[in-house]
Amino acid sequence: MIDFVRSIAIISQVRKRLSTNCVCAIAVSFAATCALLPQTRAASSDPFRYRGGLRNSPGKHKLNARQLDAVLTSLRDKTGLLEMRFDEDWFLTLGDQTKFSGGSATARALLNATASLPHAVDLESHMYSPEVAFARLGKSVGYYNYTTGSKIDVAPLEIDFSDFSKLRGDRQALAAFDLGFVILHELGHTALGLRDAADDLQALGECEELINRIRRELNLPERQTYVAQAHAAPVSYGSLRSTQIAELVFARSVEKQGRMRIEKFNLNWEASQVGPSATIADRGSNTSDRRPQIEDRLKVARDKPDATFLPRHE
């Protein structure tokens, strides 16, 4: 399978001369070019190269012990799986899946689908990368062993751990957009083939709909759009120089004194400090303008039948 580079956080910025359609056309053209140029490599000396699932990269971008532990801790937090670990060959193994404490059933199902993949997903560390905003799937590489006939596609899941320290905002929003959620998002792409909302700036896309279901099961606020809004702000107090601040809004409905209320939480980061910005500006709509959209979105998400993307296994 071929995976094209996708980023968790596309920041949009409307520019007078660069329409969204133009951006899409470039993306389509890039995808078409990639499709014509699949990468294939001959057999690897890595003895586990032909085993599928999620693993630490054996190459130069491998996660160090601390990074691997951060991934495991955050995924455990989302799934509640008590026996989940990276085994001695650096593959994520789930252990006895009936042993869990709290966590999200959807996250458990997504990781179960990931651990059973016929292709491999390699975790890679790309610290301070100007190309990676939080995380993205790189281009898959196919391996073929001419002696044994084994073959496998390997998708690199590139993570810039340094980006997470640049996040600012409400505590609940920070909890709803952490390392584990970002990895789960990319796994939604590569394990289930889910897509982002590439052409509707107010939409989420099926991949983030799945991640929102996980947030809901963990009682965390839900992301409201796939694309972040960007606006200019002074570099420092009183400075004439400005920088682009990207912002995502998270929301959840709560019942207070018999009435349903919407709680909103903001998350922001300095776009140039985090990663690539193929970008869109705030169109000036204020918070109260967005409120009906948020209410509608939360209602639709709540009322949606428990769908669709994942095989049930528990």
210 or 218: whose CB is closer to Zn ion? 210
The footprint of Zn ion on residues 110-169 (CB under 5 A) is none
Q: Pick the piece of the chain touching Zn ion (CB under 5 A) from 3-11, 78-86, 164-172, 278-286.
A: 3-11
C-alpha distances (whole Å) from 193 to each of 72, 138, 141, 190, 275 are 23, 14, 17, 6, 24
Q: Least CB distance from residue 207 to Zn ion, whole Å?
A: 5
Q: Least CB distance from residue 133 to Zn ion, whole Å?
A: 11
How crowded is the C-beta side of 49, counted as CA atoms within 13 Å? 18
Cβ within 8 Å of residue 199, ≥6 positions away: 20, 24
**Of the residues 77, 160, 196, 247, which one makes contact with Zn ion according to CB under 5 A:** 196
Both tokens of 76, joined, read 């455990």
One-character DSSP codes across 158-205: EE-GGGGGG-EE-HHHHHTSSHHHHHHHHHHHHHH------S-TT---
109 or 157: whose CB is closer to Zn ion? 157
C-alpha distances (whole Å) from 217 to each of 42, 108, 252, 255, 278 are 43, 11, 12, 16, 32
Q: Least CB distance from residue 147 to Zn ion, whole Å?
A: 37
Q: Least CB distance from residue 97 to Zn ion, whole Å?
A: 26
Q: Pick the piece of the chain touching Zn ion (CB under 5 A) from 2-10, 28-36, 235-243, 271-279.
A: 2-10
Site size with Zn ion, rule: CB under 5 A: 2
Q: Least CB distance from residue 196 to Zn ion, whole Å?
A: 4
The footprint of Zn ion on residues 29-48 (CB under 5 A) is none
6 or 213: whose CB is closer to Zn ion? 6
49 or 124: whose CB is closer to Zn ion? 124
> Is 36 buried (19+), middle (13-18) or exposed (0-12) by CB count in 10 A?
exposed
Is the peptide bond between 308 and the residue preceding it cis, with omega within 30 degrees of 0? Answer: yes
204 or 298: whose CB is closer to Zn ion? 204
**Of the residues 3, 6, 71, 169, which one makes contact with Zn ion according to CB under 5 A:** 6
The footprint of Zn ion on residues 285-314 (CB under 5 A) is none
The gap from C-alpha 262 to its chain's centroid, in whole angstroms, comes to 24
6 or 223: whose CB is closer to Zn ion? 6
Q: Least CB distance from residue 56 to Zn ion, whole Å?
A: 22
The gap from C-alpha 286 to its chain's centroid, in whole angstroms, comes to 27
Residues found near Zn ion in the complex (CB under 5 A): 6, 196
